[in-house]
Amino acid sequence: MRSFALVFCLLVLSAGHPYPALAQGSAAPAIRYSGGDGLTLKKAIVVTGAGSASEGLAAEQEWIRIHYPDATVESKGRVIGPPHYDVITLKLASGSRLDLHFDITAFFVE
């Protein structure tokens, strides 16, 4: 599991590469999103219902695909808590950058 997370992070950290394309509705059916718009830690998007870290990461990808379809991922970081967060920097089609914060506490694995 750690090797998957490491490989995923290395792939995402390559500037300008978008997340792999996901089929519509590909996040696990039990996935739920709550919280805010993700623009700050206090308004993080809370991901619950993931049965594994890989399902949780796919749920992040799905949320981004739905809300920012033309964005590419520039970098990804992690805030170790608890609570635990992924911070994903997107480059929007306009050229501007945006940080999204996902609360991953429900599926975080050390």
Mean pLDDT of the chain: 80
Return all residues near 74 (Cβ < 8 A) that are at least 6 apart: 15, 16, 89, 90, 91, 97
- What mean pLDDT comes out for the span 42-58? 94
Residue ranges of domains in the chain: 2-103
| pLDDT tens-place string over residues 3-27 | 333 333 333 333 333 333 333 445 5
Bridging pattern class, strands 45-48 and 97-103: parallel
**What pLDDT score does 27 carry?**
52
- What mean pLDDT comes out for the span 86-103? 97
Q: Is the pLDDT of residue 93 over 80?
A: yes
Confidence (pTM): 0.74
CB 101 within 8 A of CB 35: no
